[in-house]
């Protein structure tokens, strides 16, 4: 046990890996390529992707890219996009909120167009390995991902570790290679089944069982990660959430409002703080 926790469950993107230059950039690049009407004019950046993710239900970046491609041309970036995202949030967020604006058939057509475009931009020459697509790009944005923690950071923390990510199995494997991390298969939950998509709690429940953890800590960086933790608590698991977010950001505020035990700018800071304040207790010590 450490700080009352007996297992550590980690999101991958934005927590273990810096994916701003890969997945976040890819949302904007895909939206530019696929936008209807053509031409996503103006200065679109990671701030617009962050705004969209905060509206909830866009943990899947293929959905996010499709939403931006459909709604971005009319709103433009900045304040117009912020108003659009507020409207999406007000109507429940995620693909359902976009469908209510553009209709099922436009959404379906854009989703089908955006997914392979995104995959080719992300994977580059590895498109065939990752997605079964003939590569068209000389380089992939995935090459720009960098580790935010090392295997020894996790080992030193001293709790059993699991990973709960929205990546596909192949993307997860790529991320694990980038991190130099090896975990038993049962300790990694990725997007292999619809029930493992955040904010559904099933991934956290499965990992708690695999880790034999009754009081796990889940570290994530999106409102869907927080919602997954709250849903798992609703399902009876004593999981707590710690959020990765810059101090003073809207995300940090939302995490604090949602009951996060800690909100810090990086996983390393979260682990460092918990390790400093809470010495590692063995199960036998706890039982005494």
Minimum distance from residue 270 beta carbon to Mg ion (Å): 14
Task: Choose one: 5-13, 199-207, 235-243, 249-257; the region binding Mg ion (CB under 5 A).
Answer: 5-13
* Angle, CA 145 vertex, CA 73 and CA 62 arms, to 5°: 35
Nearer to Mg ion, 14 or 243 (CB): 14
What is the distance, to the nearest Å, from the Cα of residue 250 to the centroid of all Cα atoms in its chain? 16
Residue 175 CB, nearest distance to Mg ion (Å)? Answer: 11
**Which segment (62-70, 139-147, 220-228, 234-242) binds Mg ion by CB under 5 A?**
220-228
Q: Which of 2, 5, 9, 11 binds Mg ion (CB under 5 A)?
A: 11
How many angstroms separate the CA atoms of 50 and 244, rounded? 13
Nearer CB in complex with Mg ion: 6/221 = 221
By CB under 5 A, residue 14 contacts Mg ion:
yes
Of 194, 195, 174, 148, which Cα lies nearest the Cα of 10?
148
CB nearer Mg ion, residue 70 or residue 189: 189
Q: Kindly report whether the peptide bond that precedes residue 18 is cis, defined as omega within 30 degrees of 0.
A: no
Say how far apart CA 127 and CA 13 lie, in whole Å: 19
Cβ of residue 280: shortest distance to Mg ion, in angstroms? 27
**Shortest distance (Å) from residue 19 CB to Mg ion:** 7
Instruction: Please identify, using beta-carbon distances, which residue of 171 and 221 lies nearer to Mg ion.
Output: 221
Binding flags for Mg ion, 174-213, as an x/- string (CB under 5 A): ----------------------------------------
CB nearer to Mg ion: give 14 or 116.
14
Among 6, 13, 48, 63, binds Mg ion (CB under 5 A): 13
Query: Could you tell me which of 135, 141, 131 has the C-alpha nearest to residue 167?
Result: 131
What minimum distance in Å lies between the beta carbon of 272 and Mg ion?
A: 20
User: Between residues 70 and 149, which has the closer beta carbon with respect to Mg ion?
Assistant: 149
Size of the site for Mg ion (CB under 5 A): 4
Minimum gap (Å) between residue 36 Cβ and Mg ion:
28
Per CB under 5 A, the segment of 23-31, 169-177, 221-229, 264-272 that binds Mg ion is 221-229
Which residues, at least 6 apart from 66, have a Cβ–Cβ distance to it below 8 Å?
34, 95, 98, 107, 110, 111, 113, 114, 115
Nearer to Mg ion, 88 or 267 (CB): 267
Q: Which stretch binds Mg ion (CB under 5 A): 3-11, 109-117, 153-161, 263-271?
A: 3-11
For the CB of residue 42, give the shortest distance to Mg ion in the complex, in Å.
26
Would you tell me which residues interact with Mg ion (CB under 5 A)?
Answer: 11, 13-14, 221
């Amino acid at each position: 046990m450490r700080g009352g926790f007996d297992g550590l469950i980690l999101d991958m993107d934005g927590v273990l890996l810096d994916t701003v230059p890969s997945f976040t950039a890819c949302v904007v690049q895909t939206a530019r390529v696929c936008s209807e009407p053509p031409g996503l004019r103006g200065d679109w950046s990671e701030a617009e992707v962050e705004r969209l993710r905060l509206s909830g239900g866009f943990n899947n970046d293929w959905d996010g890219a499709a939403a931006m491609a459909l709604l971005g041309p009319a709103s433009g970036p900045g304040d117009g996009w912020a108003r659009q995202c507020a409207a999406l949030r007000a109507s429940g967020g995620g693909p359902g909120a976009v469908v209510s604006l553009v209709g099922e058939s436009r959404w379906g057509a854009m989703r089908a167009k955006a997914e392979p475009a995104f995959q080719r931009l992300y994977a580059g020459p590895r498109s065939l390995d990752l997605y079964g697509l003939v590569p068209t790009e000389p380089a992939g944005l995935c090459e720009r991902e960098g580790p935010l923690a090392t295997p020894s950071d996790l080992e030193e923390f001293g709790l059993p570790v699991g990973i709960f990510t929205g990546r596909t199995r192949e993307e997860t494997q790529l991320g694990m290679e980038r991190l130099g991390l090896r975990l038993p298969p049962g300790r990694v939950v990725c997007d292999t089944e619809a029930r493992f998509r955040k904010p559904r709690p099933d991934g956290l429940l499965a990992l708690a069982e695999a880790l034999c953890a009754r009081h796990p800590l889940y570290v994530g960086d999106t409102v869907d990660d927080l919602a997954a933790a709250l849903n798992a608590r609703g399902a009876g698991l004593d999981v707590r959430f710690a959020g990765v977010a810059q101090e003073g950001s809207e995300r940090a505020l939302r995490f604090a409002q949602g009951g996060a035990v800690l909100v810090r700018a990086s996983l390393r800071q979260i682990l460092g703080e918990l390790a400093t304040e809470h010495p590692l207790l063995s199960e036998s010590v706890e039982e005494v």
